[in-house]
Amino acid sequence: MRLKYKYETLDDVHFYQEYIGRVLQRRMTRRNTLGYVTRESTNYDWLKDAAGGLIIDADSQMISDDDGSEVELQSPGIAKERVPKRGPGRVAVIVANHLGWPEIFNLVCSPIFPGFTPKKEIVELPFAGTIATGLSSLFVSRGANPEEREKVVEEIVERQRLIEVDNLPYQPFCVFAEGTTSNGRALLPFKRGAFAAMRTVQPCFVTLSDGQAVRPCYDIMNLPELLVMLCSRFSFTTSTLTIMPPFMPNEKMLELHADKGEQDWEIFAWCVRDAISKYGSLPKSEGSLREKNTYSSLYSGKAKEIEIGGKTYDSTMFGQDSKKNYDKMPEDPEAEQTKDDEIGEK
């Protein structure tokens, strides 16, 4: 697999003002590994130079008010209980789509170099636990009850505060906001975890090159089967990470898009998802995790017949008559995903 990354700037992603109701002016900062600013400029020429392990931080764009005056690092006129003032530290949360494992390599090999939000059991694993700990990952409990899920959200909010407000030398950490894996061809609805704090996030997305017999997405296929198929093919997949400019919410955004959600975080999540969908040409899917798990049970042979969206599908889809029954496949590309392995549930 070939890994690539590319930074996009406000010159490229020029439609953020549609969401926040303000004109953004570029100003970039470079920080060292401790999070301290080492360079500031309005010139993007040096942005892609990440040599020496330096961390590029594109979060400190300036917001122009309607009269042309500049307001730094904050959203004007915001009630603190709704959208907190932007802190002096780096962006704490990276929001990305989740294909299973290609995006993890992309992110770790990029200048962002974030931690993740693995389950607490990972810390005990000899290899993965050491790497995750070295990345300043936030280890969370993956409980199914509402109390444990709420605790996870609180831990994310607190880590965001420590990084962005207190400017402590933690690595930024990635939250896979869809709450599950996908095949990378669409975006599922975003969950609450990354957006509950109403603080700046950095949207990213990973795309895979087309024309491959096997896509390296850990969705409904078991991992051993997937690895055998990947090792048996005679081609390479290019996995490209696109790093968009950080997205800073403000009260104007909540007013302009009040119809997109009942709670502030839902509006914020909708705007970020819409921006990724628009720039990455990734269609939105409203498929649910329950539908994916149901489809997975048919694929694995645990169920002989399932019903999704009022349509019935049976095991002949994967048998000798699968070609004849191909038209029975779910139209929703995200209804084929499974694996609830990332946090962010409501």
> The tokens of 285 are what?
């899917």
Structure confidence by residue, pLDDT tens digits, 131-161: 999 999 999 987 768 888 899 999 999 999 9
pLDDT for 304 equals 83
**E strand intervals along 221-308:** 238-243, 305-308
> Is 81 in contact with 264 (CB distance < 8 Å)?
no
Residue pair 247/18 in contact by the 8 Å Cβ criterion: no
242 φ, ψ (degrees, to nearest 5): -105, 120
Burial 126-159 (b: 16+ CB within 10 A, else e): eeebeebeebbbbbbebeeeeeebeebbebbbeb
Q: Please provide the distance, in angstroms rounded to a whole number, between the alpha carbons at the two ends of the chain.
A: 34
Residue 228's identity, in one-letter code, is V
Give yes or no for residue 164 having a pLDDT over 60: yes
**pLDDT, tens only, 192-204:** 999 999 999 999 9
User: Which sign, positive or negative, has the C-alpha torsion 238, 204, 19, 60?
Assistant: negative
Q: Which residues, 6 or more positions from 85, have their beta carbon under 8 angstroms from its beta carbon? A: 73, 74, 75, 78
| Cα separation, 59 vs 45, whole angstroms | 16
In this structure, of 65-69, 77-81, 115-119, 287-291, the range with the lowest mean pLDDT score is 65-69
CB contact set of 240 (below 8 Å; sequence gap of 6+): 4, 5, 6, 106, 206, 207, 208, 209
Give me the mean pLDDT over the 109-114 stretch.
91
* Closest by CA position to 164, among listed 198, 204, 116: 198
Q: What does pLDDT average to over the chain?
A: 77
DSSP state, residue 247:
B
How is residue 239 written in tokens? 């996995």
- Render the burial of 29-63: b for 16+ CB within 10 Å, e for the rest: bbbeeebeeeeeeeeeeebeebeeeebbbbbbbeb
Q: Above 90 in pLDDT, residue 345?
A: no
Strand partners, 55: 31
Per-residue DSSP letter, 84: P
